[in-house]
Structure 1
């Protein structure tokens, strides 16, 4: 009899399945899931705007994204089941694990975890304005710049867009243009030093257009005359 009870118990335990919530898929037009990222209560990765919604049990991507989008932000992140954070750029550090907590408003959807953000974005890499083509994300170095000429776009750094930078560089006779650190425009005719294509790091949005990337710290989105 004892053996039968043990067998039944083991069988029942083996049939239990741990349901891990998944990211949202029915997202607003232009938005996509970008991954799980690390966060800290001491230094928030998305600190432009936020709201907490634990009590009403309504938090999920479908409520967080419109909140951030209505305030002009291209990055939205859910955290710890009931928290929503907004910002203009993707966090620097991706967390491979830790996003496992179900949303307070949808138990089948993941809303980050302790010090983890489930990130959604509406940012794209501009394929290149007319006459230009994207060459991807490149490394840069303050000692040896990939493109040597730092130029001002009309309106200054606060108005930087990919189109503004390529137009400025083209008017000056350059064949390469690079946008970096959200507000910098570099021009040149060849990539200098040891700077090379790099997968990652171009996660900052342009100050003049939050829907497109403008490089990052020591990273630039490079464009060439088509």
Structure 2
């Protein structure tokens, strides 16, 4: 046996081992380094003779230090080889909780896949893995969740170079590599104390009941619609209802992307597209004890119809909130809720219309009625004692008041309903006139006194206590406290 026949395999084996074990450059990025240069991992070595043809598919731009120097790409800017210099703390990822890019080979998974979405971002994945300690994005569209204590860096550094499906300016892992984040870092919590998370809501396993649909949907609108329920949730940019005889019983096993109208019609309707129509922005209500997370995490990536800066669930996924959270209660004790008020089934009688409409103006206009309600921003309606104001069910109140844009005055065939005379803890201003009484100076006598004080006051009406100013002043009862004569103004 020739010596070369022994040496060459050993040399080749040495090269193979060198490539397999050289996982990172000196700056921590996946690759192989030479001085300040970080070459692509597959180069084997960085620079040197034959660097332009060292590996199949790789060029001098990947493996030759002269090319990398000419290209001038800084590692601090790109966050991936080939590049020049130290990474330091400048790896381009501003998302709070980012831990780094780690290898995730198929035969050695550490996390569990949760969802796939063409709109994937770190934020979408964070919501989907709300109950997990870690989360990671991969292959542009995948989201994986990791339990507390998961050894996320067990497989070493990876190459994360694939843009996120939902934001091309953000990186969502790579080929068998994951961009990994840690949950519950500072600033990671929602500012809304009522928000519980994003949960899956498959058609065959609903937990909540649908309440309303509105193209002006927001969490606030839904909260009002579900005022009597323990939970509420928003869902879908578009929902399609199908005629019963044309509903397909086949449910796709995996849905990788949020649907557009062309996507979802074949899934739900087959060829019977004329039986499908859109309802925009749904609101669902959940009873006390509803198992809202029974179906696991969902992908909430659809903007609210009424506020594009807010998320209203997703495809078979719901943004869920708890009613009566600290900031969820109305400060107005007279407000009863938002109720449907169709043209052919009115319960109240229209009182006034005003471009300056507010609940306060409507209350005054309906002073002799048990109830009052605002509608269409400018209308005021009055309801008699015993009026069945909720007979038509919940409505969508999303129109600002003409007189105060921060206040809601009903909606399209929907009314913001109030009860007159609700105790708000502040006594009404007392007026000593008419049937309420007759006054003299700061004294208010009962109306049947005729006049207040003066000669013979003790023999008028109910006597001195009610008709004589000296007695009223001595008693010291303020009208602001009692709200009735005799009293001191």
After TM superposition, the score normalised by the length of structure 2 is: 0.24
Look at both structures and tell me which one has the larger radius of gyration over its CA atoms.
2
Higher strand proportion, which one? Answer: 1
- Structure whose residues are more often helix by fraction: 2
Q: Which has the higher contact order (CA 8 A, sep 6+)?
A: 1
